[in-house]
């Protein structure tokens, strides 16, 4: 039969037909064995789980295959920022990419594709055939501890980048998930969190991101979130799983729970196809659902045979469609090339927020430069949690941080071995560069005062399992920056954060750079941007608020309550996430979504728009400055049939020589011009009101340069 299965593929049987044919041959034992994954360790510490055969690498999830039928085992590994299995990684290293939010800031789908390909190749070379990647939750709250893993606050930008990253992974014959479906937008007490939202607004925001990404990439699996949505746990939410995902969108792949996020065997009747990491369900809920309880329910006639077959076929279908049953030899892994992908992502993701001419630092400078703080003599930080990747050569340092609850044990500040201090010394050989740890504002000020220029690196640790309490920099770093800026008028700040921060010192420093968590080559990228070896081109994928009072939830429900406290967060902003909210409230943020400076200048001209079913804009971008650079012109809807409504309709990254022009054409996805109309969020449709639609081409969500009106028919 193993041979028969391969023959089926070679005679052109579809993945669905193949799945049906193979599933029909299976015993019930084989069927049930596909529905549960086992973590590499059985006590979340070190002991190898005895259900995992010798020789199988430790990973986040193992599902035995059925060799007699040509079904290989599934080996699941985290995640989007590189191949990693924290807790079970046994020294295995992989290329550590910059954070997802840095990729978001590149606005570059091609780069997403390359980083996906890199992750896919490294996963496959280690034998992992499911990559738990594709994190796409919208950054609704600037305190969310996992925003660094995700891409942006905008559904289109997130969908386009996630789709390319998934396409890159799956092109290597590795299944990718997309996660965490849906509205897993805060970490505070995430297992007890009820995320409440208007269903139509959900369709126009987080669900639209999933919808577009799934259309563009057909990920083999969808991972649910830990939270409830409108009262029902994501893992057993029939409205979202049966109604929207499998019903309205016709999704053919399988739905897996998050680790410890299976709400009960009944979830199988509501759309969940596989329980993940069964040991974590036992730890969380003192119960595991998809082995004995599901079998018992089946034996008692409470789970129809058709549903069992459907669960199994969905898994098989993705395996056959993506080809994990047809692996030949492992692809070649060129770590030097992969380092280039990490470096290029960091370069394109770094955002120059403010510059009054202090940057770039002249490469021939003989100035005395104080480099202060951020552990810049050691490396660059990375976000913490299941996405943290152990880079080649290991971490430069692991500083234990800790915290309450079960996530506190693994809360560490990981430093990747790319120290900005050494990289700056390389690129500025004539400068006299000194280092101060930024431990004490007065001490830092002493060094800053005797130098010509001060570069402060400020870091903030974000982690899965924790939301930030506020938007300030931790460890007294705001005070350090204030003291340094008071001592030296040429102060430059480099932020290495996973989220927006407030900047009480903003007007007292000459330049601000947001480098996010820039990955294993991050120090080099920071030095290249500061010295102009690379012209900054990143654009903010999230709005930087002036303070929390500007955001939809100045007080975050549940923040600070003990682990296990039930929390309800009403996402009352609905679809008006991020920049959309700021436009609706007529608020001016600290830095707008889409904002990012360059060492050259760009001009837009000749906007021409065409209507019909949707709107297409054509315009010209010109590099009007003296340096080669890349721009990201953005196309927005600003009002629809008399209603003020801000929506990113499209974007394009354009690289231009000085004086060079390029014509850009962007066609809007009609769903971004429309509203979702329907009471239950499932049965409705996208409707456009008749009237004049106003659009703009701009440099950010709040900086339109060219505008046009377009009359549209209602539909
Ligand atoms: C995370 C997932 C991850 C899984 C497996 C969970 O804690 O939420 O994103 O894929 O662990 O490591």
DSSP string, 591-641: B-TT--B-SS-EEEEEEEEE-SSS-EEEEEEEE-SSS-EEE--EEEEEEET
Cα–Cα distances in Å, from 240 out to 164, 232, 453, 519, 634? 24, 10, 54, 34, 31
Those residues with Cβ within 8 angstroms of residue 436's Cβ, 6 or more apart along the chain or in another chain: 370, 371, 372, 373, 443, 444, 447, 448
Sorted by sequence, the CB contacts under 8 Å of residue 10 that are 6+ apart come out as none
The reported pLDDT for the residue numbered 1 is 42
Q: Given this model, what pLDDT does residue 46 score?
A: 59
Residue 46 contacts by C-beta under 8 Å, 6 or more apart in sequence?
A: none
Which residue has a Cα nearest atom 11 of ligand 1?
Answer: 259
Question: How far apart, in whole angstroms, are the C-alpha atoms of residue 112 and residue 167?
Answer: 9
Q: 715 C-alpha vs ligand 1 centroid, how far in Å?
A: 41
CA of 402 to the centre of ligand 1 (A): 19
Percent of the chain with pLDDT over 70: 97
For 66-124, the pLDDT digits (tens) are: 999 999 999 999 999 999 987 776 678 999 999 999 999 999 999 999 999 999 999 99
What was the pLDDT predicted at 679? 76
Q: Quote the pLDDT of residue 194.
A: 98
Secondary structure class of 676 (helix, strand, coil): strand
pLDDT of residue 325: 96
Looking at the DSSP assignment, which residues form a beta bridge with residue 544? 591
* Gap from CA of 259 to ligand 1 centroid (Å): 6
Dihedral of the alpha carbons of 119, 122, 126, 129, in degrees to the nearest 10: 40
pLDDT at 45: 46
The SS3 call for residue 176 is strand
Query: Which ligand 1 atom is at minimum distance from the Cα of 386?
Result: 12
| Number of neighbouring beta carbons within 10 Å of residue 125 | 16
**pLDDT, mean over the chain:** 95
Distance, CA of 667 to CA of 662 (rounded, Å): 17
User: Residue 545 and residue 540: Cα distance in Å, rounded?
Assistant: 12
Q: Per-10-residue mean pLDDT for the chain, 715 residues long?
A: 55 93 98 95 64 86 94 96 83 94 98 98 95 98 98 98 98 98 96 96 98 98 98 98 97 98 97 95 91 97 98 98 94 95 98 98 97 98 96 96 90 97 98 98 98 98 97 98 98 99 98 98 98 98 98 96 94 98 98 98 98 97 98 98 97 98 98 92 91 98 98 94
CA-nearest residue, atom 10 of ligand 1 = 132
**How far, in Å, CA of 451 to CA of 434, rounded?**
9
* Nearest CA, atom 6, ligand 1: 259
The residue whose CA has the least distance to atom 2 of ligand 1 is 258
Mutation probe of ligand 1 site: the residue of 63, 386, 466 with most atoms within 8 A of C-beta:
386
- Strands 193-196 and 228-229 turn out to be parallel
Taking only Cα atoms into account, the Rg of the chain, rounded to an integer number of angstroms, comes to 25
Tell me how far the alpha carbon of residue 146 lies from the centroid of ligand 1, in angstroms.
Answer: 11
Q: Look up the pTM and report it.
A: 0.97
d(CA 590, CA 507): 12
- The ligand 1 atom nearest the CA atom of 226: 8
Cα(670)–Cα(686) distance, integer angstroms = 8
Enumerate the active-site residues. 258
Closest Cα to atom 8 of ligand 1: 258
What is the pLDDT at residue 364?
Answer: 96
| Closest residue by Cα to residue 153 from 185, 180, 179 | 185
> CA 507 → CA 372, 510, 591, distances in Å?
19, 8, 13
* Cβ atoms within 10 Å of 667's Cβ, excluding its own: 16
Measured from the Cα of 385, ligand 1's closest atom is 7
CA of 111 relative to ligand 1 center, distance in Å: 24
Q: Cis ω on the peptide bond leading into residue 466 (within 30° of 0)?
A: no
Largest CA distance in the chain: 81
Percent of the chain with pLDDT over 90: 91
- Mutate which of 135, 136, 144, 259 for ligand 1? The one with the most ligand atoms within 8 Å of its CB, which is 259
Give the torsion sign (CA, 97, 103, 105, 108).
positive
Cα angle 112-212-266, degrees, rounded to a multiple of 5: 110
DSSP one-letter code for 275? B
Closest ligand 1 atom to the C-alpha of 277? Answer: 5
Ligand 1 site: residues with CB under 6 angstroms? Answer: 60, 78-79, 132, 179, 258-259, 386
Ligand 1 mutation pick, 258, 280, 384, max ligand atoms within 8 A of CB: 258
Measured in Å, residue 277 CA sits from the centre of ligand 1 at 9
- What phi and psi, each to the nearest 5 degrees, are found at residue 455? -115, 115
* Ligand 1 atom nearest to CA at 465: 7
Element (H, E) at 180: strand 175-181
| Residues present in the chain in total | 715
* β-pair partners for 654: 631
* 460 CB neighbour count, 10 Å cutoff: 22
Model confidence pLDDT, tens digit, residues 185-217: 999 999 999 999 999 999 999 999 999 999 999
Spell out where 301-452 has E strands: 351-355, 368-372, 380-382, 397-400, 412-416, 432-436
From the CA of 177, give the closest atom in ligand 1: 10
| Separation in Å, CA 416 to CA 383, 413, 495, 600, 609 | 11, 10, 16, 31, 47
């Amino acid at each position: 039969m193993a041979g028969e299965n391969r023959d089926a593929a070679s005679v052109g049987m579809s993945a669905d037909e193949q799945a049906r044919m193979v599933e029909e041959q299976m015993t019930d034992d084989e069927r049930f064995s596909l529905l549960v994954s086992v973590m590499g360790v059985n006590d979340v510490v070190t002991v190898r789980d005895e259900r995992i055969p010798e020789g199988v690498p430790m990973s986040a999830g193992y599902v035995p295959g059925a060799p007699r039928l040509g079904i290989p085992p599934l080996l699941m590994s985290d995640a989007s920022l590189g191949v990693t299995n924290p807790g079970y990684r046994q020294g295995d290293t992989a290329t550590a990419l910059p954070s997802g939010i840095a990729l978001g800031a590149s606005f570059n789908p091609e780069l997403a594709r390359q980083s996906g390909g890199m992750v896919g190749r490294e996963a496959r070379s280690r034998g992992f055939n499911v990559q738990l990647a594709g994190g796409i939750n919208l950054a609704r709250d600037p305190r969310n501890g996992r925003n660094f893993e995700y891409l942006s606050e905008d559904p289109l930008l997130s969908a386009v980048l996630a789709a390319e990253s998934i396409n890159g992974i799956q092109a290597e014959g590795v299944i990718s998930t997309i996660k965490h479906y849906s509205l897993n937008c805060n970490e505070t007490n995430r297992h007890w969190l009820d995320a409440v939202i208007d269903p139509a607004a959900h369709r126009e925001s987080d669900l639209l991101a999933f919808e577009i990404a799934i259309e563009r990439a057909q990920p083999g699996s969808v991972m649910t979130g830990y939270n409830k949505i409108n009262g029902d746990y994501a893992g057993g939410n029939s409205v979202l799983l049966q109604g929207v995902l499998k019903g309205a969108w016709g999704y053919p792949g399988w739905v897996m729970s998050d680790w410890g996020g299976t709400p009960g065997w009944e979830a199988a009747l509501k759309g969940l196809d596989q329980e993940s990491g069964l040991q974590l369900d036992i730890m969380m809920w003192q119960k595991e659902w998809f082995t004995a309880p599901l079998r018992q329910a089946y034996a008692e006639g409470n789970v129809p045979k058709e549903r069992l077959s459907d669960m199994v076929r969905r898994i098989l279908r993705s395996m056959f469609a993506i080809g994990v049953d047809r692996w030949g030899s492992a692809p070649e892994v060129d770590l030097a090339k992969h380092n280039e992908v990490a470096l290029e992502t960091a370069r394109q993701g770094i955002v120059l927020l403010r510059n009054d001419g202090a940057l770039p630092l002249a490469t021939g400078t003989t100035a005395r430069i104080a480099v202060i703080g951020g552990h810049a003599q050691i490396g660059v930080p990375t976000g913490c949690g299941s996405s943290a990747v152990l880079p080649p050569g290991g971490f430069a340092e692991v500083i234990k941080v800790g915290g309450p609850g079960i996530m506190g044990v693994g809360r560490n500040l990981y430093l990747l071995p790319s120290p900005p201090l050494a990289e700056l010394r390389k690129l500025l050989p004539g400068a006299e560069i000194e280092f101060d740890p930024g431990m004490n504002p007065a001490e830092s000020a002493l060094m800053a005062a005797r130098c010509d220029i001060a570069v402060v690196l400020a870091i903030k640790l974000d982690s899965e399992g924790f939301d930030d309490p506020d938007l300030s920099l931790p460890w007294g770093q705001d005070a350090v920056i204030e003291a340094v800026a008071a001592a030296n008028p040429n102060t430059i700040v480099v932020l290495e954060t996973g989220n927006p921060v407030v900047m009480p010192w903003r007007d007292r420093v000459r330049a601000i750079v947001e480098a996010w968590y820039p990955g294993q080559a991050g120090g080099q990228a920071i030095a290249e941007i500061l010295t102009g070896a690379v012209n900054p081109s990143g654009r903010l994928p999230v709005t930087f608020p002036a303070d929390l009072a500007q955001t939809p939830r100045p007080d975050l429900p549940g923040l600070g309550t003990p682990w296990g406290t039930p929390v309800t967060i009403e996402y009352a902003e609905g679809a008006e996430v991020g920049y959309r909210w700021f436009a609706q409230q007529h608020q001016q943020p600290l830095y707008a979504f889409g904002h990012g400076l360059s060492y050259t200048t760009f001009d837009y001209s000749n906007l021409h728009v065409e209507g019909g079913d949707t709107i297409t804009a054509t315009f010209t971008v010109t590099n009007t400055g003296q340096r080669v650079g890349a721009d990201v012109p953005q196309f927005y809807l600003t009002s629809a049939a008399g209603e003020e409504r801000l929506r990113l309709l499209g974007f394009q990254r354009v690289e231009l020589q000085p004086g060079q022009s390029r014509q850009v054409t962007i066609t809007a996805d009609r769903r971004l011009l429309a509203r979702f109309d329907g009471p239950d969020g499932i049965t409705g449709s996208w409707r456009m009101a008749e009237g004049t639609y106003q659009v703009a081409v701009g440099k950010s969500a709040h900086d339109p340069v060219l505008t046009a009106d377009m009359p549209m028919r209602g539909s």
